[in-house]
Amino acid sequence: MKKYDIVIIGAGCSGLSLAHRLLDTNINICILESGNRENRIRKTWSYWDIHQHPFAKLEYNSLSDIYCINNSFPIKLNCESHNYRSIDSRQFDKHMFDKISLSKNIDIVFDICVDEIIAGTKYIQIKSNNIIYEAKEVYDSRPDNIRASMYQVFLGYYINAIPPIDKVMPKLMDFTQDNEFSFYYVLPFKDNSCLVEYTFFTPTVHSSEELKSNLDSYIKDAIGQYKLIRSEYGVIPMSPNLPEQDHVKNVYKIGIRSGATRASTGYTFLNIQKQSEFFAKKIQGIHSTNPLLTFKAKILRKMDGILLRIIRNEPEEAKNIIFKMFTLNNDQTIIRFLSDIPSIFDILRIIINMPKIIFIKYAIKSLINRKI
Ligand SMILES: Cc1cc2nc3c(=O)[nH]c(=O)nc-3n(C[C@H](O)[C@H](O)[C@H](O)COP(=O)(O)OP(=O)(O)OC[C@H]3O[C@@H](n4cnc5c(N)ncnc54)[C@H](O)[C@@H]3O)c2cc1C
């Protein structure tokens, strides 16, 4: 039986981000990952450069403006002071696996699927088939299989345009094509390749097959003929309510499992970084505030609950609300709001600029029933 101070379950973004903060400390850590070291799911994490974190040197793309588009016109979001940046999870994995192999205090075990966590008097037991690990604290990033009322479902194609084109317009949300609450996301990279994603906010999980033909026609219309480099498909549960704490003492949820995803946008990367800082400090006995439990985080969750209800019941209205948010608020306010770092004034400005009747109607519904 192997004993550690800490076991981290899952070597994904949250597990490795927490491990990074604890490298070369006197805390013995074991990361248990069900997947294989080589066949890792490859993702691109994008966010506004508004919160410092240790992975900034891995950023390989940086945009100083990005657009939101509906049927009437494009609105530019000026990101000059907080560029829209991207990290390739393959580079992130390599960086972290190299660091862990050089570290004296962190072990990582692949191909081990944790299926049970059992409370003990001094140590918690983490079980996988016949193997048992013991730890004083456990940080668990396994996806929760609880059914959510809404999901963000997306299919992304990494493409090269044929023939190559100089400039593709970066689009955060292009609402021009569909009736439901769906949009296209276009992220051009420096090497002339491009990520084009078709995203749905939906109560039913669409398969990647169902999204393929629309994505293909959109790319052909917006960019032209293309060569597919690789694709990514994602399903992110979106709930404005934080999941319940684990029933075993000293077992903490991290990452998406902990509610780190911003329910109305799907952005998670920066919240994972803030959460990792918080837990790393806690583990080392330094007091700080859990970023998911602050007053502002609670207000944002309430607002997300209202917006998700509108998206679910009145998708066309929801598109107008989002488009208006981009039209009526200043760029800094929008970036801080979408990055979960708004000031109270930013929140007030966003609320004041919302269409009043629909916002109040769904705010009242949210007060009566917490479920979307
Ligand atoms: C395709 C895609 C693109 C995204 N793009 C963005 C973006 O641009 N910006 C943004 O902010 N967010 C983005 N996200 C959301 C979020 O940032 C990522 O999903 C992020 O990887 C979540 O980290 P995590 O640690 O919570 O989960 P994961 O990275 O999924 O890590 C969980 C780990 O646990 C392992 N595991 C599961 N079960 C077990 C078990 N029983 N035992 C042991 N290990 C187990 C898994 O194999 C996995 O490695 C994206 C998500 C997806 C799917």
pTM greater than the 0.85 cutoff: yes
pLDDT for the residue 309:
94
Supply the residue whose CA is at minimum distance from atom 15 of ligand 1. Answer: 268
pLDDT for the residue 16:
98
Mutate to test the pocket of ligand 1, among 195, 251, 269, 273 (most ligand atoms within 8 A of CB): 269
pLDDT for the residue 221:
94
pLDDT for the residue 227:
97
SS (H, E, C) 87-126: EEHHHHHHHHHHHHHHCCCEEEECCCCCCEEECCCCCEEE
Q: Report which residue type is found at 309.
A: R
* Phi, psi (deg, nearest 5) at residue 343: -80, 170
| 16 neighbors 93 (Cβ within 8 angstroms) | yes
Task: Select from 346, 337, 211 the least CA-distant residue to 265.
Answer: 337
Which atom of ligand 1 lies nearest, measured to the CA of 234? Answer: 53
CB proximity list for 11: less than 8 A, separation 6 or greater: 19, 31, 33, 35, 93, 96, 108, 110
Average pLDDT, 10 consecutive residues per value, the chain (372 residues): 95 98 98 96 96 97 95 91 97 98 97 95 92 97 86 96 89 85 94 94 92 95 96 91 87 95 93 98 96 95 94 92 94 97 95 92 84 66
- SS3 percent helix, strand, coil of the chain, rounded to 5, is 35, 30, 40
Q: Determine which helix (DSSP H) or strand (DSSP E) holds 320, and give its type and residue range.
A: helix 315-328
| 158 neighbors 228 (Cβ within 8 angstroms) | yes
Ligand 1 centroid vs 151 CA: distance in angstroms? 15
Distance CA 312, CA 117 (A): 36
pLDDT for the residue 369:
74
Cis peptide before 163 (omega within 30 of 0): yes
pLDDT in tens, 65-89: 999 998 778 999 999 999 999 999 9
Ligand 1 centroid vs 268 CA: distance in angstroms? 9
Ligand 1 centroid vs 223 CA: distance in angstroms? 29
| 157 neighbors 52 (Cβ within 8 angstroms) | no
Task: Characterise 192 by phi-psi region: left (phi > 0), alpha (psi -120 to 50), beta (else).
Answer: left
Distance CA 89, CA 86 (A): 9
Distance CA 70, CA 246 (A): 42
Distance CA 186, CA 224 (A): 13
Alpha-carbon dihedral of residues 332, 333, 336, 339, nearest 10 degrees?
Answer: -110
pLDDT for the residue 372:
62
Task: Select from 96, 112, 225, 102 the least CA-distant residue to 160.
Answer: 225
Residues with CB under 6 A from ligand 1: 9-15, 32-35, 43-47, 113-114, 141-142, 232, 234, 236, 255-256, 267-269, 272
CB proximity list for 315: less than 8 A, separation 6 or greater: 179, 180, 181
DSSP states of 183-228 as a string?
Answer: EEEEEE-TTSEEEEEEEEEESS---HHHHHHHHHHHHHHHT-SEEE
pLDDT for the residue 1:
76
How big is the CA angle at 271 (ends 215 and 254), to the nearest 5 degrees? 100
